[in-house]
């Protein structure tokens, strides 16, 4: 079975709780969402068999933390993903899944061989994607079998009701899940500061562990 892969490269993780870890990145082509802040416009891909991709991953110096499956949305090609993460596990590599947190049935198919889930929660007022809470709820339930943290983009447009809904989701499904607030890197950072301060205070009041971590790969100018 072949998958459409936009690129394979090594770099440092630019966001979330594993910021700064060296990883091999596998960027899948295609996404089921179209967020207003999306900066991943992919128009080219190569087709890979799982063993071809594994051989390419192994070309990199083997001192990396994990293989990051990113996109696009990797779970759109979950059958291929299942095969490549099995190969990685068999050879002692860690699998890190970056996902928009919606394709929960596909997640079920791969969760056994995933080590870390970096899951987006799409706040409707930030993403322009409408309500995805039902999908996020089911997704987080399955993801919580493994180490999972959540990322949410905070924009000038983000309303506190949406953040409250994300906090309720975390409280109900997985209280130990850490929420990473990511200022929208396409907007002036100084204008987001007050909102981020208010939102951090709200997380504290709601007893959900949260931190603000910018998308550093954009700041550093790395992939
Ligand atoms: S889920 Fe990610 S890749 Fe897909 S449209 Fe949204 S930001 Fe872009």
- Ligand 1 centroid vs 53 CA: distance in angstroms? 23
CB of residue 42 inside a 6 A radius of ligand 1: no
pLDDT in tens, 84-97: 999 999 999 999 99
- Ligand 1 centroid vs 91 CA: distance in angstroms? 30
pLDDT in tens, 121-146: 999 999 999 999 999 999 999 999 99
C-alpha 98/C-alpha 1 separation (Å) is 22
CB of residue 74 inside a 6 A radius of ligand 1: no
* Cβ contact 59:30 at 8 Å: no
In sequence order, what are the residues at sequence separation of 6 or more whose Cβ sits closer than 8 angstroms to the Cβ of residue 194? none
What residue has token string 């091999």?
Answer: 24
Is residue 51 helix, strand or coil?
Answer: helix
- The pLDDT value recorded for residue 113 is 98
- Ligand 1 centroid vs 28 CA: distance in angstroms? 11
**pLDDT above 70: residue 47:** yes
**pLDDT above 70: residue 215:** yes
Tokens of 77: 């090609």
CB of residue 129 inside a 6 A radius of ligand 1: no
The reported pTM is 0.96
Per-residue confidence at 42, pLDDT binned at 50, 70, 90? confident
- The pLDDT value recorded for residue 119 is 98
Is residue 158 helix, strand or coil?
Answer: coil
- To test ligand 1's pocket by mutation, which of 34, 36, 99 has the most ligand atoms within 8 angstroms of CB? 34
Nearest CA to ligand 1 atom 8: 38
Q: Which residues pair with 70 in a beta bridge?
A: 27
CB of residue 132 inside a 6 A radius of ligand 1: no
């Amino acid at each position: 079975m072949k998958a459409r892969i936009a690129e394979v490269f090594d770099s440092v993780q630019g966001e979330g709780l594993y910021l700064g870890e060296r990883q091999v990145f596998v960027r899948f082509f295609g996404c089921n969402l179209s967020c207003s802040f999306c900066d991943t416009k992919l128009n080219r891909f190569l087709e890979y068999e799982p063993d071809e991709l594994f051989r390419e991953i192994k070309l990199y110096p083997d001192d990396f933390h994990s293989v990051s499956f990113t996109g696009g949305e990797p779970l759109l090609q979950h059958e291929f993903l299942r095969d490549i993460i099995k190969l990685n596990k068999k050879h002692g590599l860690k699998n890190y899944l970056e996902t928009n947190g919606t394709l929960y049935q596909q997640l079920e198919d791969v969760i056994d061989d995933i080590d870390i889930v970096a899951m987006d929660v799409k706040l409707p007022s930030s993403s322009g994607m409408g309500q995805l809470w039902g999908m996020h709820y089911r997704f987080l339930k399955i993801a919580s079998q493994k180490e999972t943290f959540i990322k949410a983009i905070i924009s000038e447009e983000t309303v506190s009701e949406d953040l409250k809904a994300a906090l309720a989701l975390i409280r109900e499904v997985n209280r130990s899940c850490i929420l990473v607030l990511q200022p929208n890197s396409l907007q002036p950072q100084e204008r987001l500061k007050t909102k981020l301060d208010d939102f951090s205070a709200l997380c504290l009041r709601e007893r959900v562990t949260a931190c603000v971590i910018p998308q550093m790969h954009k700041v550093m100018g790395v992939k």
